[in-house]
């Protein structure tokens, strides 16, 4: 929606641990919630998305959870690996596709 807040802005986790990134949105009309991953020097790519009629969606090591009442959704990455190091963006599209400011995830060896 018009206002999407994403936290944290930077996150460092030990390889093998889990990472959680949270987004809060303001527009109640939003019903689609995607997460994009942007590796260094590359284009953003959709990694997972969820619609408002579902509370959770998983795809291997990544999952997204949605709390429509609280207007927030989160990206969960388990068993983190070096290739998970990237910037992650959320969005809560309505008439515009506005992205959160991004979270830079560092996976520490």
Partner 1 sequence: DSGVTQTPKHLITATGQRVTLRCSPRSGDLSVYWYQQSLDQGLQFLIQYYNGEERAKGNILERFSAQQFPDLHSELNLSSLELGDSALYFCASSAPTGGEKLFFGSGTQLSVL
Footprint of partner 1 on this chain (CB under 8 A)? 32, 34, 36, 42-46, 49, 89, 93, 95-102
CB of 43 to partner 1, least distance (A): 4
User: Phi and psi at residue 84, in whole multiples of 5°?
Assistant: -80, -10
Report the residue number, 10 or 67, with the smaller CB distance to partner 1: 10
CB of 35 to partner 1, least distance (A): 11
Cα 59 from Cα 5, distance rounded (Å): 24
Report the residue number, 15 or 32, with the smaller CB distance to partner 1: 32
Torsion angle in degrees (nearest 10) through CA of 15, 82, 7, 99:
-160
Report the residue number, 97 or 108, with the smaller CB distance to partner 1: 97
CB of 91 to partner 1, least distance (A): 8
Cα 22 from Cα 89, distance rounded (Å): 10
Cα 35 from Cα 63, distance rounded (Å): 10
Report the residue number, 95 or 109, with the smaller CB distance to partner 1: 95
């Amino acid at each position: 929606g018009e206002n999407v807040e994403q936290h944290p802005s930077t996150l460092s986790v030990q390889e093998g641990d889990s990472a959680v990134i949270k987004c809060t949105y303001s527009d109640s009309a939003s019903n689609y919630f995607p997460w994009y991953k942007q590796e260094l020097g590359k284009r953003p790519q959709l990694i997972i998305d969820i619609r408002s009629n579902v509370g959770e969606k998983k795809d291997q090591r990544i999952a997204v959870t949605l709390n429509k009442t609280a207007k927030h959704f989160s990206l969960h990455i388990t068993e983190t690996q070096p290739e998970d190091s990237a910037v992650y963006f959320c969005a809560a599209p309505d008439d515009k596709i506005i992205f959160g400011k991004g979270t830079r995830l560092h996976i520490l060896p």
